[in-house]
Structure 1
C-alpha cells in the first residue's frame, strides 16, 4: 500500500489516476537494473526499452522522429580525474586547493586534459549584461584567457529597499541572469578560460553537497569544434575559499559585493592567478528523448505536450555494501509515472481534437539538455504547440489545501491552475522560495525560451499547506528532502509515501490539458513576461 486512498478524483471522471500504478512505475524505475538512469549508459538502454514498452501498453502511437519512439540527443560526456595541479596564487604565495571541498569544477571541452595555466583572475560581480535593464557588469573589460569570478544570483537578491537596484531583477525572485548556466555562457562569449561562481547556500538555493554531486562529471550537447566553449574549466568555489582568496589578495569581498549591486560596478583584477590541470575522460554518447502521442482528431497539428525527465544521477559513491545508485525516485521517476497516468486517462476518453504528446526528456539533470535539443529542432512546431505542462518533483507527504505556483505573472496557464485547483477545493499559493529560480531549472524552460506557454508543477518551490500538519509539515518535507535526499541515493521509492497530494497535482495538470485538448483556446503570456514578444511574433500561425 502507498498510504491513504489509492485514487483521487479530478474534474473529469472518465477514469481515476491510480496511486498504485504510480507507485509501481516509480518502484520499477528505481531498481538497480536501471543503474540510476544516467544518460549514455547501459541503464539508459534499459530505461528506454522499459518506457517504450509502457507507452505501447498504454496504446500510445510513436511520437518521435520519423515515426519512431525517440529523438537522438548526442551528448558530450566528460569526467575529470585526480587533479595534477590545483591552486590559487597571489603576492608570491601559492595556496593548494582541495578538489571537492574548496572548489568544484568540470569541463565541456572534448579534450583529454583540462588546463588553466596560471591565468589571471577577474571579479566580474554578478556578470550580468542586461541592456533592457540598463545594466552591464563587464564594461568592455577584456576577459580573453582569464578566469571570471562571479557572485551567485542577481544584483538585487540581497539588496535592501533603499538601494537603487532593489527590484530591478525581480527582488528575491531569481531571473535567468542569476542562473549558473547564464554566467558560464557569458564567460565563454567573452573568451574566458575558466569561470568560477562563489557559492552561497541562500543565494544558490542549495548547499555545497548539491554542487559537488556530479563528482566531476559533466554533459553538454555535442557541438562542432567551432562552437566549443572557451572555458577549459567551469564550476564553483566555496564561500570560505573565496573569502581566503580575496583576503590574501588584499581585497575586501564584502565591499565588492556591495559595489556589484550598483550600475557603476567595473570588473576588478583580483591580483591572483588560478592554476589547474586535470586528466579528462571524454566521449560522445548517444542519448534519447522518448515520445508517445495521441493524435488529434480535427486539429492534429496543434499539440499539447506533457513532459517529465527520465534521467537521474547514475552510480554514486559506494558504501559498505557495494554499489549504490542515485535513482531519483521523486526527481523525476514520479513525474514520469504521473505523465503515464495522464496518458492512460486520456486514452480512456474520446479522441481529443488536438494531439497529446507525452515526452520523457533525457539529461535534465545535466542542464536541460534533452529538452534543449528538442527545442532547437522540434518534432512539433513551437508555433502551434498549445502548451507544455511539466511535472518535476512532487511532495509525498499527503493531501494539501493548496497548490504551489512557480513563476507568478508569466502566463494565463496560471489562471487555469487556479480554476481547476478550486474545483478540488484548493487555493493557489505563490512559491515561497523564488530565489531558487526553479522556473528556469526544469525542462519546460527550453520551450518557454521559444515562446511556448508553459506551466511547471514542482513541490520544491514552496511549503504545501498539508491537511495533516499544515504548512509546517509541508516545510518539514521540503527540508528533509532537499537537505538529505535531493540528488542523493536516498531519493528512493518507499512504501511509506502518501501520494494523495501528488495525485491532486497530477489531476490538476490533466484537467488543464483536458480543457485545451477539445477547444480552440490558446494560452498566452502575460504583459511583462520576457517570452510574450516571442509568442506574439508567431501569432499568424495559430489563426
Structure 2
C-alpha cells in the first residue's frame, strides 16, 4: 500500500506539472519572467559599458582598456577560450589605425610659362596620403564628369570638373582612377570653400599598413577661376555652356597648374576581442557573432552638461546581447561547429575593426558558414517582428525563415531595413564573401530606428535611462541563440564552403 501511495503521489505531481505546462496563463507567466530576467542581465552589462567610468569607449584610451577587460572577464568566466589562434596575442587581436588630417595646401597657375596670380585662400588642395605633388600639369575640362574621358585624354593632366560635391564624390574618384594626375573642382553652385574646409578638415582613418593616396583633390572658387582664365576665350559661364552641349567632348584649357597637399598622421593602437566556444566537429566550419565595442569618447564641449558619448544603444546593447547569447550556448550541450564571438574596434571610424578581422582572420573566412552582426538593438519593445538587414545578399535567408517558424517568430520578408546594410560591420564581411546579416526585432520597426538616428545617435544623450527599451533586445538573445544552434548543426546546414578550403 505504501508503494501504491508513493506512486500515486508521483503521478499527482506529474499531472500537476503537465497541467501547468498546458495552462497558457502559466506559460505566459514563465515567458514574462524569463524576458524580465534577460532584460535585467542586458541592463547590467549596458550600465557598466555605457558608464562615465568607461569614458565613451574610445579606441586607444583608458576607456578601451576598461571595456576590453570587462568583455574578456565575461567570456572567460563563461568558460570560453581565446579565439585569436595567436599565442602571442590571446583574446585581444592588435589593430593599428592611422588618423590623417589635412596639413598644407598649395596651388599655383601659369600660362605659357608665366605665373597667373590666384590667391591661395581661393583654392584648397587635399590628399588622403602623406604628401602628393603634381607640377605644371595641363588642365583638361571634363564637364560634369558624367562621362569619363579616356586615359589618353587624362594622363599627366589635371581634370577641371564642374561641381560634383565636396565629399570625394564618385566622379572625382573615377577621374583619378582613369589616370588624371588630380582633380580641380569648380565650386559654381551652393557650396563654398568654407563648406569644403568644414567637411574635409576632419580626421580620416585607415588601417595601419594600408597605402592611401597620392591622389590630389582640389577645389577652386568660381570667381578665382574666372580671374585665372582672363585673357583666354573661356570663363566659368562658357564652361558651363559647353558642358551642357549634347556633343560635349573634353577640352584642353590654356592653363597649367601645380598642386601640393600634405597631411598630419597619428597612430591609434587598439584591439579586436576574439573568443571561441569550441565545437565537437570544427572541421565542419564555424559560426560567427560580431558586435562593435567602440564609441566616440568625449564628444561635446563645455558649457554642455554632459560631455561623453556613452553609446548605451550604440553599441553597448549589441555587446550585451552577444555576451548573453554566449552564456546560453555555454550552458547548453556542446555544439558541432565552433562559435566565434568578436567584439570589434573602430567601427565608428569606418568599419575598420571588422576590416582588420576579415584581412587577418583566425581561420580561413571560407570556413564561416554564417555570421551575425549585432548593432544598436536596444530601441524596440518586445513583440516586434524580426528583420534581416542584408536580406537577399546571402544564402542564409531560407534557414533564418525556418528558425523563425520553429521559434514561432514573425519574420519581415521585405527590404525596409536595407538602407542600413552598408553602415554596420556585416557589410565589411560581405565584401570578403562571408555570408553576414543582422537579424533583430529592434529593427523590425524602421520608424523607431529613424527616431533613434534623429535624436540620440552619436550624441551624449545615448545613455542608460528609463527610455532605454530592452524588450526587443531580450528577444534577440533568444532568437540569435536559436540561430546559432541551427547553423552550428552540419545536418541542418551542410558545409557549403567545403569545396573552397581557405
TM-score by structure 2 length? 0.71
Give the conservation status (yes or no) of the 8 Å contact 1:289–1:360.
Answer: yes
User: 2:99 pairs with 67, 71, 77, which one?
Assistant: 77
Partner Cα distance (1:353, 1:514) in 2: 9
Distance change in 2, residues 1:441/1:107 (3 Å): farther
* 1:480-491 matched pairs, under 5 angstroms: 480-491=451-462
- How many residues align? The count is 446
TM-score normalised per structure 1: 0.66
Distance 1:283 1:92, change over 3 A: closer
Is 2:410 aligned against 1:430?
Answer: no
Query: 1:118-517 to 2 correspondence within 5 Å?
Result: 137=148, 139-140=150-151, 141-142=153-154, 146=158, 187=176, 190=179, 193=182, 216-223=202-209, 227-231=211-215, 249-250=236-237, 280-299=263-282, 302-321=285-304, 324-394=307-377, 396-422=379-405, 423-432=407-416, 434=418, 436=419, 438-457=420-439, 464-465=444-445, 474-475=446-447, 477-517=448-488
> Does the CA contact (< 8 Å) of 2:290 and 2:344 recur in 1?
yes
Alpha carbons of 1:433 and 1:303: their partners in 2 closer, same or farther (altered >3 Å)? closer
Q: Once the 2 structures are TM-superposed, how far is the Cα of residue 84 of structure 1 from its aligned partner?
A: 7.0
Q: Is the Cα–Cα contact under 8 Å of residues 17 and 341 in structure 1 kept in the other structure? A: no
Task: Provide Cα deviations, 1:412-433, integer angstroms capped at 9, x if missing partner.
Answer: 3122333333434413142336
Structure-2 separation of matches of 1:459 and 1:181: 34
CA distance in structure 2 between the aligned counterparts of 1:348 and 1:197, rounded to whole angstroms: 63
Does the aligned pair in 1 maintain the 2:159–2:183 contact within 8 Å? yes
In 1, Cα distance between the equivalents of 2:427 and 2:203? 23
Relative contact order higher in (CA < 8 Å, ≥ 6 apart): 1
Distance 1:494 1:400 in 2: 21
Q: Which runs of 5+ in 2 are unaligned?
A: 1-28, 110-115, 188-194, 227-234
What secondary structure sits across from 2:321 in the alignment? helix
Q: Which runs of 5+ in 1 are unaligned?
A: 1-6, 128-135, 153-177, 199-208, 466-473, 525-534
Answer yes or no: is the 8 Å Cα contact 1:60–1:294 preserved in 2: yes
Match of 2:18 in 1: none
CA distance in structure 2 between the aligned counterparts of 1:504 and 1:197, rounded to whole angstroms:
52
Whether the 8 Å contact between 1:364 and 1:370 is mirrored in structure 2 is yes
Q: Give the structure 2 partner of residue 529 of structure 1.
A: none
Change (3 A) 1:339 1:193: farther
Quote how far apart the aligned CAs of 1:233 are: 6.2
Local SS of the residue matching 2:154: coil
Q: Give CA-to-partner distance per residue, 1:476-511, whole Å, 9 cap, x none.
A: x33332223322322333232121122333433222
Larger radius of gyration: 2
Asked if structure 1 preserves the Cα contact closer than 8 Å seen for 2:148 and 2:178, the reply is no
Q: Is the 8 A contact 2:35 2:474 kept in 1?
A: no
Decide whether the 8 Å contact of 2:321 with 2:476 is kept in 1.
no
Task: Note if 1:37 corresponds to 2:57.
Answer: yes
Work out the CA distance in 2 between the residues paired with 1:336 and 1:293: 15
- Structure with more helix by fraction: 2
Which residue pairs with 2:501 in the alignment?
A: 541
Match of 1:4?
A: none
RMSD: 5.0
Displacement, 1:243? 10
Residues 452 and 242 of structure 1: CA distance in aligned 2, closer, same or farther (over 3 Å): farther
- Going from structure 1 to structure 2, the CA distance change for 1:95 and 1:412 (only over 3 Å counts) comes to same
Query: Cα 1:322–1:485, aligned 2, differ >3 Å: closer, same or farther?
Result: closer
C-alpha contact (below 8 Å) 2:388/2:417 kept by paired residues: no
**Residue 373 of structure 1: how far off its partner (Å):** 1.8
1:348–1:254 Cα change, 3 Å: farther
Residue 21 of structure 2 is matched in structure 1 by: none
Range with bigger deviation, 443-452 or 115-124: 115-124
Query: 1:36–1:327: 8 Å Cα contact kept in structure 2?
Result: yes
Shift of 1:317: 3.4
